[in-house]
Amino acid sequence: MKFVLEVDISGMRGEGEAVAELGRALRYWGGNLRHYALQPGDGSEIHDSQYRRVGSWHIAPAS
C-alpha cells in the first residue's frame, strides 16, 4: 500500500505562509491518522488554517 499526500501551496503567498501551513497540515493529519484503519480507499481532505481545501491524502494499493 501507499500513503499519498497532495497539498497545493501555490495559493499561499505571504512570507513563510506555505511553510507554516504545510507544517500545520502535516502535524494535524499525522496526529489524526490513528482514527483510520489505513486500508485502500481511506482518505480525507486537507484544509488550511482558514478552512480552505488545499489537498487530500489517501491510501492506495501498491503499484
Residue 14 has pLDDT above 80, yes or no: no
pLDDT in tens, 30-56: 888 899 999 999 999 998 888 889 999
Query: Nearest 5°: phi and psi at 61?
Result: -65, 150
Q: Edge-to-edge strand order for the sheet containing 43-47?
A: 2-7, 53-60, 43-47
Given this model, what pLDDT does residue 48 score? 85
Tell me the CA distances in angstroms from 1 to 28, 44, 54, one per residue in order: 22, 16, 23
| pLDDT for position 50 | 85
Domain boundaries, the chain: 2-60
Closest by CA position to 44, among listed 33, 52, 34: 33
Q: Which residues pair with 59 in a beta bridge?
A: 3
Instruction: Please give the mean pLDDT across all residues of the chain.
Output: 89
> Contact at 8 Å (CB) between 4 and 58?
yes
- Residue 57's pLDDT is 94
